Amino acid sequence: MKLLIFAGSTRQLSFNRRLAHATAALARERGAEVTHIELADFDIPMYNADLEARGTPPDVMRLKRLMFEHPAWIICTPEYNASYPALVKNTLDWVSSPVKSDPDWTDGFKATRGKVVGVLSASPGALGGLRSQSHLAPLLLNLMCWLAPQNFALGRAGDAFDADGRLLNDFAVKNVQAVIDQVLWAAERLAPAT
């Protein structure tokens, strides 16, 4: 099963980037074919319909294709002001926007429809970014994704990783693995027959 993992942060020392890295390693151990991307590697401007009218940026098309090719995703979302950050919203807004000049991409939901998505978060606070997850869920459902009911919010994230970026706590490992397992299980069952 092809699994796409990314964090909704580009900050160098982001806890969610560390969590995405640790999740990717755990998913590979589970036998998933993992593509772990960094959103900083994509040149994606703030969404603007006037800009889009001049042509969808090449890196948006690259991201659309990546998301389309992966039946399963795990998003590690930070929490800003009790919600998910603009980077996550902007990414999903671009990915779900139809490309009127390309007949293959006139369907705005082509890259998102039917994807099984697991949501993780990490925060230095006790709640671990849980409020960002509750705001992200309706957006993912609106994009016609299947949202895995299993989720995990990693609290006190400043003490959660070793020097190599692995999760230190068995409880955290068990909960991240539970999200991975549920996403992979559901994606296998919901994948269209070929």
pLDDT of residue 66: 97
| 142-145 long-range Cβ contacts below 8 angstroms, 24+ apart | 143/92, 143/96, 143/109, 143/112, 143/113, 144/109, 144/112, 144/113, 144/114, 145/73, 145/112, 145/113, 145/114, 145/115, 145/116, 145/117
What are the residues facing 3 on neighbouring strands?
Answer: 34, 72
pLDDT of residue 193: 61
pLDDT of residue 62: 97
pLDDT of residue 40: 97
Q: 82's torsion region: left (phi>0), alpha (psi -120 to 50) or beta?
A: left
Give this prediction's pTM: 0.96
Task: Output the tens digit of pLDDT for each of the chain's 194 residues.
Answer: 999 999 999 999 999 999 999 999 999 999 999 999 999 999 999 999 999 999 999 999 999 999 999 999 999 999 999 999 999 999 999 999 999 989 999 999 999 999 999 999 999 999 999 999 999 999 999 999 999 999 999 999 999 999 999 999 999 999 999 999 999 999 999 987 65
Domain covering 2-190 in this structure, CATH number: 3.40.50.360
